[in-house]
């Protein structure tokens, strides 16, 4: 008999009782055939639910095997994760409430060791907080019953017959006699309870089938042999992926040499890929770097990043040759991207909503979706086709009366300005000047002019304002600050060359 309801237990029916015996107590007993599959299903459901508290979950197999009362247990490794839920009390209350909401009765306990936590959850009843922190709660731990040690039923009966009911009865006995009389398990469980022996829990980890491993009795000493081995592994991995409608984004190839040296090649693709020829081509570029040495005895191919793929039929109407195939295009970008050096860039241009021209053009990776080189809703005045960043400073040769340049020197060429349009004023971003007034007159304010020189070249000229009165202001605001230099070192102000009130630079070229 297994899996009793609370009502049945109240009537005196015990787990592992025979059906006839139970019928003699309760004649109108309803019995249902045991369904292990259903049990597994519920266990998996609870485990999926508990995943939200901690990724490390272990089912209590001993309880499921021996205890026929329809109970099950789970261990959660909560080390370092309790603060996410408040404190221990809140966490346990939340777990119990959630499980009760799902329709399961539940008891929880928390302790430093797995054994103590088990005992807490089972036997520390009536306490407001079922936690056991061992050096502090030593007295509480000693009062727990011997059944909290997860001993087999026979051992428990022996202990009961000997009058050893609580843990302190056992702990006070000399250790040597315990093993000879009761077997090694009692001491082992007791040590695991107190944390003197480690306990290995069988944590449920996600299954990772995207790994192919091949060991060779005769080490592969030839690059051609290695290539053949890798080809075979990658092909079988891709077949597996195709069968599951998945594609890999990253593949790691690991070649382990006879002397233990490991060579790892990692490749990331821009879209989920399940085509072996493409992967082999990408890997082939890196394979010359693998040194076979005295031979390679193990090859591992592992896909740590796998995504679902949904293939759709391409519409038959689209016979346009210029419309490109997404998969083939991504494979092309993979090939190009893996060939690039450290200084090379492959990107999709993107438009960032900013008035500052160098910030407006941003770069996104090729695999990024939804990039748009031009935001439709963002206004864009006339912008040059080429942006020189950082701007190239120019020298003003002559100016008009209003301060605008007539002749400039750029790249050692004298340019006579024949046509000048502007200015387009771009102020710095106001949120950098929240506590200051007049941010429009800050030094970062720029004026842009569209100029044309005598040859017809069209440039984007930028003017930075430089506040000439800055030093004077500083002195006025701090009149009592002693000057770092004695006065006679400083030439009179009139002799100082006046700083240029504005800095001019070329920021772009118009078509």
Partner 1 sequence: MTLAHALLDKRNKIGTFNGHISMTSRLQQARAALLRAEKHWQGHAACVNGGQPVLIKRAFGGIDLGNHFAAGGLMTTGLHEIMTEHHDSAASALAWYMAGLSPHSHQPAKQNKPATRLWVQHRKALDQGQVYAPALFAKQSNPQCALVMMNIDQQQTALWTCEEAAKSGQIGNVILETTDYDLTTARRLQLACEAGSCRLIVLRQHRAGQKIAPSPAWSRWHITPHGIYRKLSLIGGRGVRPASWKVCIDEATLRISVAAPLENRLPPKPHAIPEIRYPAHAGGYGKNKGFSRQGPDLCRHAK
List of residues contacting partner 1 (CB under 8 A): 315, 318-326, 328-329, 332-333, 335-336, 339-341, 343-349, 351, 357, 360-361, 363, 366, 372-374, 376, 380, 382-389, 411, 413, 452, 455-457, 508-511
What residue ranges in 223-295 does DSSP mark as E strands? 246-257, 262-273
Query: In the Cβ-directed half-sphere of 98, how many Cα atoms lie within 13 Å?
Result: 16
State the nearest-atom distance from the C-beta of 307 to partner 1, in Å: 21
**Residue with smaller CB distance to partner 1, 32 or 310:** 310
Residue number with CB closer to partner 1 (83 or 343): 343
CB of 267 to partner 1, least distance (A): 17
- Report in angstroms how near the CB of residue 336 gets to partner 1 at its nearest: 5
What is the bridge-based pairing of β-strands 502-509 and 386-393? antiparallel
The alpha carbon of 412 is separated from its chain's Cα centroid by a whole number of angstroms, namely 52
Of the pair 363, 470, the CB lying nearest partner 1 is at: 363
| Nearest distance from C-beta of residue 376 to partner 1, angstroms | 4
Cα 49-52-55 angle, rounded to 5 deg: 105
Nearer to partner 1, 297 or 350 (CB): 350
- Beta carbon of residue 417, minimum distance to partner 1 (angstroms, whole number): 14
The distance of closest approach from Cβ of residue 410 to partner 1 in the complex, given in angstroms and rounded to an integer, is 9
CA distance 229 to 221: 12
Q: Alpha carbon of 239 to those of 226, 244, 301, 307, 372: distances in Å?
A: 20, 9, 13, 15, 36
If the CB atoms of residues 93 and 387 are measured against partner 1, the closer one turns out to be 387
In the complex, what is the shortest distance from the CB of residue 338 to partner 1, in angstroms, rounded to a whole number? 11
Q: How far is the CB of 322 from partner 1 (least distance, A)?
A: 4
β-strands 395-399, 131-132: how paired? Answer: unpaired
Tell me 149's DSSP state. G
- Give the residue among 444, 417, 467, 436 at the shortest CA–CA distance from 358: 444
Q: Which is nearer to partner 1, 210 or 410 (CB)?
A: 410
Please identify which residue in the block is written with the tokens 């382990």: 256
Residue closer to partner 1 by CB (options 57, 506) is: 506
CB 245 within 8 A of CB 320: no
In angstroms, give the least distance from the CB of 368 to partner 1. Answer: 11
Q: Which is nearer to partner 1, 187 or 388 (CB)?
A: 388
Shortest reach from residue 412's CB to partner 1, in Å: 11
Check if the beta carbon of residue 237 is closer than 8 Å to that of residue 303.
Answer: yes
Specify the residue, 344 or 487, whose C-beta has the smaller distance to partner 1: 344
Question: What's the rounded Cα separation, in Å, for the pair 353 and 378?
Answer: 6
Token readout for 62 is 């001993």
Q: Cα(439)–Cα(462) distance, rounded to whole angstroms?
A: 18
Q: How far apart are CA 116 and CA 121, in angstroms?
A: 9
Q: How far is the CB of 210 from partner 1 (least distance, A)?
A: 28
> Closer to partner 1 at the Cβ: 166 or 364?
364
Q: Shortest approach of partner 1 to residue 88 CB, angstroms?
A: 53
Q: Please state, in angstroms and rounded to a whole number, the distance separating the CA atoms of residues 271 and 326.
A: 9
Nearer to partner 1, 202 or 326 (CB): 326
Closer residue to partner 1 in complex, CB, 167/408 = 408
**What does the DSSP 8-state code read for residue 42?**
H
What phi and psi values does residue 501 have, to the nearest 5 degrees? -70, -20
**Packing angle of the helix pair 223-243, 276-286 (nearest 10 deg):** 150
Would you list the DSSP string of 401-455?
TTS-EEEEEETTEEEEEEEEEEEEEEPPPGGGGTTSS-GGGSTT-EEEEEEEETT
Q: Which helix (H) or strand (E) holds 122?
A: helix 114-123
């Amino acid at each position: 008999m297994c899996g009793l309801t609370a009502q049945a237990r109240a009537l005196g029916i015990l787990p592992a009782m025979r059906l006839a015996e139970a019928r003699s107590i309760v004649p109108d007993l309803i019995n249902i055939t045991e369904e292990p599959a259903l049990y597994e299903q519920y266990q998996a459901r609870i485990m999926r639910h508990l995943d939200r508290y901690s990724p490390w979950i272990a089912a209590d197999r001993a309880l499921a095997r021996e205890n026929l009362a329809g109970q099950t247990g789970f261990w959660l490794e909560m080390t370092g994760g309790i603060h996410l839920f408040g404190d221990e009390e809140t966490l346990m209350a939340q777990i119990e409430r959630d499980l009760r909401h799902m329709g399961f009765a539940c008891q929880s306990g928390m302790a430093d060791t797995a054994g103590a936590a088990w005992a807490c959850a089972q036997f520390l009843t009536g306490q407001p907080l079922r936690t056991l922190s061992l050096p502090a709660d030593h007295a509480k731990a000693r009062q727990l019953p011997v059944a909290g040690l997860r001993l087999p039923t026979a051992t428990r009966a022996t202990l009961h017959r000997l009058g050893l009911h609580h843990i302190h009865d056992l702990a006070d006995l000399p250790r040597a006699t315990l093993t000879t009389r009761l077997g090694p398990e009692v001491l082992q469980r007791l040590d695991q309870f107190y944390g003197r022996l480690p306990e290995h829990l069988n944590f449920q980890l996600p299954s990772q089938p995207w790994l192919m491993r091949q060991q060779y009795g005769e080490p592969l000493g030839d690059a051609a042999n290695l290539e053949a081995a890798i080809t075979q592994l990658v092909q079988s991995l891709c077949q597996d992926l195709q069968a599951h409608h998945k594609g890999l984004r990253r593949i790691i190839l690991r070649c382990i040499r006879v002397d233990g040296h490991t060579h790892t090649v990692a490749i990331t693709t821009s879209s989920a890929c399940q085509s072996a020829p493409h992967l082999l081509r990408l890997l082939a570029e890196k394979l010359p770097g693998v040194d076979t040495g005295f031979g390679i005895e193990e090859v591992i191919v592992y896909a740590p990043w796998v995504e679902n793929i949904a293939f759709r039929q391409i519409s038959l109407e689209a016979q346009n040759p210029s419309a490109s195939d997404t998969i083939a295009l991504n494979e092309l970008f993979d090939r190009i991207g893996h060939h690039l050096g450290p200084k090379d860039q492959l990107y999709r241009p993107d438009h960032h909503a900013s008035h500052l021209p160098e910030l407006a053009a941003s770069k996104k990776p090729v695999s990024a979706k939804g990039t748009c080189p031009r935001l439709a809703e963002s206004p864009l005045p006339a912008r040059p086709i080429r942006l020189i960043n950082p701007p190239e400073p120019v020298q003003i040769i002559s100016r008009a009366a209003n301060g605008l340049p007539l002749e400039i020197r750029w790249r050692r060429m004298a340019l006579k300005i024949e046509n000048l349009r502007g200015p387009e004023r771009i102020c710095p971003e106001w949120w950098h000047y929240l506590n200051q007034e007049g941010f429009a007159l800050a030094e970062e304010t720029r004026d842009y002019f569209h100029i044309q020189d005598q040859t017809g070249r069209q440039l984007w000229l930028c003017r930075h304002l430089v506040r000439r009165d800055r030093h004077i202001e500083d002195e006025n605001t701090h009149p009592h600050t002693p000057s770092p230099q004695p006065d006679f070192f400083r030439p009179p102000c009139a002799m100082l060359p006046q700083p240029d009130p504005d800095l001019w630079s070329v920021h772009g070229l118009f078509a």
